[in-house]
Amino acid sequence: MLLSVNIFVSLDGVVQGPGAPGEDRSGGFDRGGWLVPYASTHTNEVVESWFRAADAFLFGRTSYGLLGGYWPKVTEPDNLISTKLNTLPKYVVSSTLTDDEADWSPTTVLRGDPADEVRRLKQLPGRELQVHGSWKLVQTLHQAGLVDVYRLLQYPVVVGTSKRLFPDGSTPTTFATVEESTRVLPGGVVSLTLDPRSFGAISAGAYTVDEGRSTTVLD
């Protein structure tokens, strides 16, 4: 399966607590719910397009608990997101979560090395193994070079503090934009699909003047 990261992010890269003030207050975060004023049928359509490609889900423990406390309550039969989340296989990376606590069926707890476990899951048949939220897990997967595609909804707000998608120390990576999946939605939210192109290094260059003309030179 292809491994995709699907996530909401602010202009300054914050991913913490987008959906409610009390969603994730770790580290004293008190600015939750920042995406809700921008929610629309357009953003919903993008998110549903993500979920259509899912054949399994991968979570960190915190996001598993948050989503598992919400989506089983959504029982309307035509809700694509709840149907996918409540019926497809779910894998949660945790060394402390018990099988009894992992009661959002069907769930398997992964207690081994996260990178090794994910490499094994990627060999299973199916379209996509999707990560939603799961900030700490996303860092681990990025550092290991395991993410095949990033899908972002970037909201026109600067949150100013807290957990960021790519914090200091992240492995440098260049991306190719998937043009047909990248657009500005009404209200200013940007839908981005990015394929990692060069992992571990970034392309660089310089502006220079050649015979009176400003030009670029790539390394």
Q: What is the mean pLDDT of residues 130-134?
A: 96
* pLDDT tens for each residue of 59-95: 999 999 999 999 999 999 999 999 999 999 999 999 9
- Total number of domains in the chain: 1
Confidence of residue 46 (pLDDT cuts 50, 70, 90): very high
Question: Which pLDDT score is estimated for 57?
Answer: 98
pLDDT surpassing 90 at residue 6: yes
194: domain CATH number? 3.40.430.10
Domain that holds residue 84: 2-218
What percent of the chain is predicted at pLDDT more than 90? Answer: 93
Phi, psi of 25 (to 5 degrees): -100, 10
Question: Which pLDDT score is estimated for 203?
Answer: 84
**123 SS3 class:** coil
* pLDDT tens for each residue of 96-123: 999 999 999 999 999 999 999 999 999 9
The token pair at 59 is 């979570």
Confidence of residue 181 (pLDDT cuts 50, 70, 90): confident
- Burial class, 79, CB count within 10 angstroms (exposed 0-12 / middle 13-18 / buried 19+): middle
Q: What is the mean pLDDT of residues 171-180?
A: 92
Give the C-alpha separation, 166 to 81, whole Å: 26
